[in-house]
Amino acid sequence: MRIVLLALLFIIGLAVGDLSGNWNGSFRVDGGDQDVPQLLLLKEDGANLTGTGGPDATERYPISNGQVDGNRVTFELTTGDWKFFYDLKNSGLQMSGKLVLKSANDRRSAEVTLKKAH
């Protein structure tokens, strides 16, 4: 019984495991009528998260202030006039949560969902 419990805990740990790798998904701004694609290349190092993100492989922006705290993942991207603030929940091979987009004259909210590429 003890071995089964340890094996189960190990499998659960793997499911939530390392965030390093490619993540694909999209977001839709509240009130918007189309999904905006997201492609993130993440590197987790303990509680720190770095990498790049953007709509596709040709348009990339560096991640800043990336943090991993349990299953909570937060980071920022800056794309010219816009700053993107991600606040996500990691459930293994998927992350989802809130995205706040800010510019000098505008603020928008969105729901974002990302899946880890195999």
CA distance 89 to 91: 6
Per-residue pLDDT at 60 exceeds 50: yes
Per-residue pLDDT at 63 exceeds 80: yes
pLDDT digits (tens, 9 = 90+) for 2-23: 554 333 334 444 444 689 999 9
For every residue of 1-22, DSSP letters joined together read -HHHHHHHHHHHHHHH----EE
The number of distinct structural domains making up the chain is 1
User: 88 versus 13: which is more confidently predicted?
Assistant: 88
Contact yes or no for 68/47 (Cβ under 8 A): yes
User: 70 versus 10: which is more confidently predicted?
Assistant: 70
pTM of the model: 0.83
pLDDT band (50, 70, 90) for residue 118: confident
Per-residue pLDDT at 83 exceeds 50: yes
CA distance 63 to 51: 5
**Which domain, by its residues, includes 73?**
2-116
**72, 77, 68: which is closest to 36 by C-alpha?**
77
Which CATH number do you get for residue 64? 2.40.128.120
